[in-house]
């Protein structure tokens, strides 16, 4: 599938909260929201 081999990283305030390269998949929306909430604290 086109785009499967690309890099997809999500950084918040300079901190990586998701890496497709590390996980091997795209995140669900809820996973990103959960990780942002965890940073806020």
User: What's the whole-model pTM score?
Assistant: 0.79
Hey, where are the domains in the chain?
9-40
- pLDDT score recorded for residue 1: 66
Q: What is the pLDDT of residue 8?
A: 93
Note the pLDDT tens digit of each residue in 1-41.
Answer: 676 678 899 999 999 999 999 999 999 999 999 999 999 98
Q: Which pairing describes strands 9-12 and 15-19: parallel, antiparallel, or unpaired? A: antiparallel
Question: pLDDT at position 5, please?
Answer: 76
SS3 5: coil
Q: Which residues contact 15 (CB under 8 A, 6 or more apart)?
A: 39
Q: Catalogue the E-assigned strands of 1-41.
A: 9-12, 15-19
Are 18 and 35 in contact by the 8 Å Cβ rule? The answer is yes
């Amino acid at each position: 599938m086109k785009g499967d081999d690309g890099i997809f990283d999500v950084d918040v305030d300079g901190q990586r909260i998701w890496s497709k390269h590390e996980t091997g998949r795209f995140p669900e929306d809820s996973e990103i929201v959960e990780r942002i909430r965890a940073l806020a604290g």
